[in-house]
Structure formats: C-alpha cells, structure tokens
Structure 1
Amino acid sequence: MPVPEIAQAATVASWAPTEMRSRRQLLNMEPGRTGVRYAGRMLIERVRVKPSAVEDGAWPWTVPAIGDLAAHGVRLNSSIVILVGANGSGKSTLLEAIAEGYGLDVRGGHGGRKYASELDMSPLGEAITLDRTGAGSRMIGRNAKGFYLRAETAFGMLAFMTEAGMPGYGDRLSSEVSHGESYLQAITGRFSGPGLYLLDEAEGPLSFESTLQLLYRLQDLVTEHNAQVIYATHSPMVAALPGAQILEMTDQGITERKWAELESVALWKRFLGRPDMFFDDAS
C-alpha cells in the first residue's frame, strides 16, 4: 500500500492563485516547483537577544530553543518562515516576542494601532532585537504595518470588531456560512499590503481545502508586496509551503530543516499509511 504524500497538493505551484478550488481539482493536482525563495522581500533578516537581559535559570531562558536563540540568535533567509515544534517548545513564545519587538499588539490585529490599555512586555519581548532590512526599517512605531493572528483568540477578536463596525471586519463575518468559512474569509481579508504577518496555528479551525486557500493567500501576499510571514504550526501541510524556511524548535535548540526531515512529517506518513498500527487491537 503506497504511503500518501501529505505535501502533494501544498506544493502545486509557487504562484498559486487564491480562487477556490474544488475537491476534484485538489485531488488531481500535480506537484509543482519547489526551492523557491522570496528573500528579496524580507523585512527581518535576523532575530537575536540582548545578553544583558538573559536571567539564568528563569523562564523563558530555560526553554532549550529560547536558550539557543539567546546564545546564537537565528538568521532568517526567506519571506516565509515556518516555526515547527511540539507543545512547550517555545514557538508561540518566540512569535509573541517578535510581535512585541516589531510593534504588533499581542492581543492580535493590525500594527500601528493604539489600544486603550497597554500590556507589559514579555521577558523575551523586552530582550529581543530584530535586525531589519531596509524595507523593514521603515516600518517602526506607528508605521509598523502587518497583522498578528492568534488562533485561540482570533474569532472572538473578529466578532468584536464586527459588532463595533470596524471597516474591513464587519463585512467579512457572516452567520450564513460555517465557522471555518467565516474565519477564513475574515483573516484572509486582512492579509493585504506590505508588512509583517505573524500567524500562530492559524489553520486550527480550517478544513484541508480551506487550509490550502490560506496558504495560497500567503504565497500571493509575499510575491505581490514587501511582506514577510512567520508562521508557528504543528502542521506538515503548512510546513510544505514552497520556498519556506523551516525552523524546528526542539530540546536541542533551533535547527533549520527540510520538510522531509521533520519528525511530524514522518509520523503523519506512518499514520496515514497504516492508522491501525497506532491503536490497540480492540477485538
């Protein structure tokens, strides 16, 4: 029995359009070009930590990947960066700190927006330094263009903005479509123009097909604008985005990987090939 290839549909083409595709079209797609890079459109090229801000024995420096970041920093080489790792590996902690360092409110939403109450910065957010490209250096403070999406709070945030009548939100949420469809319409509607787009497990409420539509939109975003995407996920499907730099966060630190080298990819291949092997025999 052949093992299904998780990434086949996700690697269809480096310039995939965003129109909806039918299930039949998705199943008949052929893998396209890989190895595409978008480095000319980057905003952040390195993430590092001020040594004086590190407190030995305290969180988050005790998290191996965050400790590795503090010791060595990490260089970004694509405008699509995927952070992968198990729960507790530091993915969300790092993404939140990047949002703080860049100027995006950690509650989610657009950059350059003032809230009635300010939040204290996280320990990593206070310590982090972002080495920006020329384009990125022009997006500071009120000019910090971009969007920060946290899956666990996104729908509540979008619903609040709908009720408040904020332009660009209220026209995208509807009770006439499913939760996942409404969520996809709302978030992809906010992905436009140059800026830094941070996504934390954004695929959570989405089906296979809807996740593909999200990934196509992200591809269009970085090819049409001076935009950079940093996406924290468990999903091998998301990690299969062509041209993405994959950074795996483990007990060994932060390591750049190829998609086929990821442990999650190997596990999903085994599960999809023989799901019965993962369950006790109930007979």
Structure 2
Amino acid sequence: MIYVSSFKLSPFIDRNPNAYPDRVFKHMAGEVLLFERITVFYGNNGSGKSSLLNIIANKLGIKGNERMASYGENKYAERFMEYCSFELGEDEREHKLAGLPDKSLYLKSEDILYEIKKIQQQAVLREGLLFEQAKQGANRAELAQYEGSFELYKKLDIVSYAQEKYSNGETSMQLFEDHLLPGSFYLLDEPETSLSPANQIKLAEQMNELARYFDCQFIIATHSPFMLGTLHAKIYNLDAKPLRTAQWYELDNVRFFQQFFQKHQQLFE
C-alpha cells in the first residue's frame, strides 16, 4: 500500500546562507520525491536525511515528529514546511486516501536508544511507566496509588530481567517487533542503530515482508550497506547534486566497505 505517493520540497530558498533548513536543501529546491512501498534516503553525515524525515513527519502530522529549530523572528523552518506539499496515495478502488493510518509513526535512532536506556535505569524506567499511565488518563491520585502498587514493581522486575537477558541489539529488535505493525506508514531514522550486521539484514527482511504482504509503507534514512543491500527499495542519494536515485551498489558508503575488504582480501583466503 502506498499511503503517501509524493512529497514536494519548498521551491523557495532564502538568500540568508545560515537559514535552516534552506541551506541544507538548496540543491533540492522544488524537487518532487516519488515514494514506493519502501523508499530510502541515503547520505553521509550532514546530507539532511534526518532533517528531511522530520520535515515530512511535521508536514504529515505524524506521531514522533520534533519541532524544527528556528532562529530569530523569521522562523525559516516553519516557512520552509509551509511551502512543502504532499500527495496521498489511493486505495484499491483508486480513490484518493482521506488520511494516514492511526498507527503511523516517526521512529528515530535516539528514540530506540532512549528506550534501551530507560530499561537500563530503574529511576528512568519508573518515570517512563508512570508517564505511560498519565498518557492513558490517570489522575494524580491514581498515579500515586500506582507508584506504590505491586503491579508497578512486578512490571519493573519483568523489564529489568529482560534487560539482563538481552543485549542492546536484541532489545532494539524487540522494540521494532512491538512498534512495526501491519497496515501502517512509518518513517524510520537510522533503524540500524545498535544492531549487528546480521540483525540489520533480519530487520530489513522483515520490512520487505511488511511492505509486500501486510500493507505497510516505509520511508527510511540509512547509510548502512547491509540495510541498503537487503531492502527492496527506491533509493534517493542525497549526496548527489542534483538529487537523483541510485542503486545500492553505486553508493559511496557501500563502495568504501567493498574497497576495505578488497584491501584485506588475503587475510580471508
């Protein structure tokens, strides 16, 4: 399922060289990104792939978006997003979709790291569990009662045991199992964080299945050669000027790995 078919970047770029995010996307001004079931934004550090995901998340109003930074009174980021636009996809009857699935989510690498850290630190974990209760509508009296309850201590024990049993990478995989559900739209920023190459490939294969068989759509920012080489994706190379699509084996980061192992090939023979 294609929930979002395209996204047009702002054609207006401020002349101020320090304006953010204008200065990051000046070589992409007015570009229209066409999305597949899985679309990847590739680029090295500073290429704007994370900023682009956040702009899309803000424009679409997806849970997990972060407010764009602004400087001075001109509010460059808000203006940039105002000039951006998008098109939703169509259903099986070729009718334009009215909106995105309710479970749509923007999940960042720091979100995963925070969840791992929350599990590792009892105090932070306790606050997180109390916060979850508050989000579900618990008032102060109910929160106070929950804080001293057997239910909370049991939950703390269960999660703490899980952390002792599983590594950061295994915890990350479990978090993806919990968050990635059929029939939804996901923006993922560097999902390979904390994952071994084998688990990166496993996660990419799961995304392929979710996209092909379970009506999910993914837009992913990554420079992992293992993710890039496994995902059945359309890849935008944000390092290219002008912006263009590419095959995974053409990308600089992938070729860097290839050259590194070629240099040491004799050690493997």
Query: TM-score, length-normalised on structure 1?
Result: 0.68
**1:105 equivalent among 42, 63, 73:** 63
What amino acid does structure 1 have at the position aligned with 2:211?
V
Change (3 A) 1:107 1:242: closer
| Superposed counterparts of 1:181-196, under 5 Å | 181-196=170-185
Q: Residues 148-201 of structure 1, C-alpha deviation per residue, up to 9 Å, x if partnerless? A: 11112323246359634859xx78882121111011101222101222111111
Provide the C-alpha distance between the structure 2 equivalents of 1:206 and 1:266, rounded to a whole number of angstroms. 21
Change (3 A) 1:128 1:186: same
What amino acid does structure 2 have at the position aligned with 1:73?
V
| Superposed counterparts of 1:129-208, under 5 Å | 129-135=85-91, 137-140=97-100, 143-157=101-115, 159=118, 163-164=129-130, 174-175=162-163, 176-208=165-197
Change (3 A) 1:240 1:104: same
Give SS of 1:231's match. strand
Shift of 1:127: 3.4
Change (3 A) 1:145 1:54: farther
In structure 1, the residue matched to 2:260 is 271
Q: Is the 8 A contact 2:205 2:231 kept in 1?
A: no
Give SS of 1:252's match. coil
What amino acid does structure 1 have at the position aligned with 2:86?
L
Give SS of 1:46's match. strand
Shift of 1:203: 0.5
Structure 1 residues not aligned, in runs of 5+: 1-40, 109-118, 277-283
Shift of 1:268: 0.8
| Superposed counterparts of 1:55-134, under 5 Å | 55-57=14-16, 58-63=19-24, 66-76=25-35, 78-106=36-64, 119=67, 122-123=77-78, 124-134=80-90
CA RMSD across the alignment: 2.9
**2:222 equivalent among 233, 240, 259:** 233
> Is 1:252 matched up with 2:268?
no
| Superposed counterparts of 1:211-226, under 5 Å | 211-226=200-215
Query: TM-score, length-normalised on structure 2?
Result: 0.71
In structure 1, the residue matched to 2:143 is none
Provide the C-alpha distance between the structure 2 equivalents of 1:133 and 1:198, rounded to a whole number of angstroms. 16
Give SS of 1:194's match. coil
Structure 2 residues not aligned, in runs of 5+: 70-76, 119-124, 134-154
Q: Residues 212-243 of structure 1, C-alpha deviation per residue, up to 9 Å, x if partnerless? A: 22112211211223221111011111111353
Provide the C-alpha distance between the structure 2 equivalents of 1:260 and 1:120, rounded to a whole number of angstroms. 33
Q: Percent identity?
A: 23
**2:7 equivalent among 47, 50, 62:** 47
Provide the C-alpha distance between the structure 2 equivalents of 1:157 and 1:126, rounded to a whole number of angstroms. 32
Change (3 A) 1:231 1:155: same
Q: Residues 119-157 of structure 1, C-alpha deviation per residue, up to 9 Å, x if partnerless? A: 4684444432111112473334xx543221111232324
